[in-house]
Amino acid sequence: MKTRFLVATAFAFLVLIGPIRAQQDPNDDLKTHTATGCLMKVGGSNAYTLTDENGKTWDLRSSNVKLQPHVGHTITVTGTIPTGEPRAGDTSPQNHLVVTKVEKVRDDCNQ
């Protein structure tokens, strides 16, 4: 009987606290993300990709951080996932990262 009461109380607490947390943090997309992996340049534009240690490919953009000097290096990037309308043909906007910081891990992409 005590166990049922505790489980019911915990469930009620979680149901009540959920909306409060959503109000305190309404936009998870603006949280900072980090990824470590190999930086590659895409075409002739100012577009770069980073394939992280889990095999996820990130589309990197930055107007403040110079990524070009790190092409072919293993780096750790920090940034935010942009909000707004996805680009045409974009099926994975969660893989876009606006880079605010870069740190070199190694001079190459080999582990």
60 assigned to some structural domain: yes
User: What pLDDT digit, counting tens, does each position of 54-69 carry?
Assistant: 889 999 999 889 999 9
Residue 17: pLDDT over 50: no
In a domain, 51, yes or no: yes
Domain presence at residue 21: no
Count of domains for the chain = 1
Q: Is-contact 91 57, C-beta < 8 A? A: no
- Which tokens hold the place of 52? 């992280």
Is residue 42 situated within a structural domain? yes
| Distance of alpha carbon 55 from alpha carbon 20, whole angstroms | 35
Q: What are the tens digits of pLDDT across the range 22-51?
A: 343 444 445 789 999 999 998 877 789 999
Identify the domain containing residue 76 by its residue range. Answer: 28-106
In the chain the beta strands, taken as DSSP E runs, fall at 32-42, 47-52, 57-61, 74-80, 96-106
| CATH code for the domain of 58 | 2.40.50.140
Q: Is residue 86 assigned to a domain?
A: yes
